[in-house]
């Protein structure tokens, strides 16, 4: 089978997939997969085999996707061998509902698959599906990564607000922290209080600030630390 014939065969496979989905026909949809296919949906759930694929789609075609309509874009193909082809297809869906039964706004997605030739027909052997942002959001991200200046494709209200905040922060002089603030900050990050022992009488205890290395070493060695310790006074004895 030459490249032209392969392209045409994959086109037939994808047209059958779109038709089976829009007819909400789980049997026809599962028939497009190899008997030992691996199928991963947009939620990251994977099933193995044609029969589990059919059972799963019987459920969703009777529920959240019963009114859905799928539209597939032209595929991007890469030949992996005479009987294997990688297939990337972007899709759009309307009419779906979420798990709570609420309308699901128009969805956009991409599936990556490997199709295998079985005789004169092609079926999906590996299939990974995923949701993706809407095209306009993707264009914004591409422009942002490309370093386009503000005011072009990425000039959305949210991004304009973020730029405004960043510009104000860059112009405002940075306030120097007071020495006591720096000391408190350093102490909160470095000092950890641990109870090192209980006095034999049981009515008082010693608390050692063990954040400093010398305090920890002294605690492990069973010796007195140079860190300050506080001994609470004995509690008053209860009267008989």
Are 22 and 119 members of one domain? yes
User: pLDDT tens digits for 201-228?
Assistant: 344 444 444 444 554 554 555 544 444 4
Q: Is a pLDDT exceeding 80 seen at residue 240?
A: no
pLDDT at residue 135, as a whole number:
84
pLDDT at residue 51, as a whole number:
97
Of 22, 90, 92, residue with least CA distance to 61 = 22
Residue 144 lies in a domain: no
SS3 106: coil
Express as a percent the part of the chain with pLDDT over 90. Answer: 49
Contact 18, 72 (CB under 8 A): yes
Contact 108, 90 (CB under 8 A): yes
- Give the count of beta carbons closer than 10 Å to the beta carbon of residue 117: 17
Token reading at 205: 């205890």
Residue 179 lies in a domain: no
Are 132 and 206 members of one domain? no
pLDDT at residue 49, as a whole number:
97
Contact 138, 119 (CB under 8 A): no
Token reading at 93: 């869906």
- Give the count of beta carbons closer than 10 Å to the beta carbon of residue 204: 13
Of 92, 113, 112, 116, residue with least CA distance to 104 = 92
Are 101 and 220 members of one domain? no
Range of the domain at 201: 187-228
Average pLDDT, whole number, for the chain?
76
Instruction: Compute the distance between CA of residue 171 and CA of residue 166 in angstroms, rounded to an integer.
Output: 9
Are 92 and 199 members of one domain? no
Instruction: Compute the distance between CA of residue 62 and CA of residue 52 in angstroms, rounded to an integer.
Output: 16
Residue 148 lies in a domain: no
Q: Is a pLDDT exceeding 70 seen at residue 115?
A: yes
Are 118 and 18 members of one domain? yes
- The greatest distance separating any two alpha carbons of the chain, rounded to the nearest whole angstrom, comes to 103
Task: Report in angstroms the alpha-carbon separations of 129 from 39, 79, 89, 154.
Answer: 8, 20, 10, 27
Are 8 and 83 members of one domain? yes
Q: Tell me the whole-structure pTM to 2 decimals.
A: 0.60
Of 4, 5, 57, residue with least CA distance to 29 = 57
- Domain with residue 125: its CATH number is 3.10.450.50
Contact 210, 193 (CB under 8 A): yes
Residue 233 lies in a domain: no
Are 119 and 203 members of one domain? no
């Amino acid at each position: 089978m030459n490249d032209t014939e392969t392209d045409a065969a994959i086109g037939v496979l994808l047209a059958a997939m779109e038709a089976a989905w829009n007819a909400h026909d789980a049997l026809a949809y599962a028939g497009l997969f190899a008997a030992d296919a691996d199928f991963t949906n947009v939620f990251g759930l994977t099933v193995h085999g044609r029969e589990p694929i059919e059972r799963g789609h019987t459920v969703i075609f009777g529920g959240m996707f019963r009114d859905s309509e799928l539209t597939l874009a032209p595929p991007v193909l890469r030949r992996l061998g005479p009987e294997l082809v990688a297939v990337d297809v972007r899709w759009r869906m309307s009419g779906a509902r979420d798990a709570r039964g609420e309308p699901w706004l128009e969805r956009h997605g991409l599936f990556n698959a490997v199709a295998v030739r079985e005789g004169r027909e092609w079926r999906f052997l590996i299939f990974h599906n995923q949701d993706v942002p809407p095209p306009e959001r993707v264009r914004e991200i591409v422009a942002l990564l490309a370093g386009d200046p503000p005011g072009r494709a990425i000039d959305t209200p949210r991004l304009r607000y973020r730029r405004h905040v960043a510009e104000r922060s860059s112009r405002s002089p940075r306030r120097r922290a007071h020495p006591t603030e720096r000391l408190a900050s350093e102490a909160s990050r470095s000092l950890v209080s641990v109870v090192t022992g209980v006095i034999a009488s049981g009515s008082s205890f010693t608390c050692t600030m063990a954040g400093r290395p010398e305090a920890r070493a002294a605690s492990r060695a069973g010796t007195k630390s140079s860190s300050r310790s506080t001994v609470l006074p004995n509690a008053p004895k209860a009267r008989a």
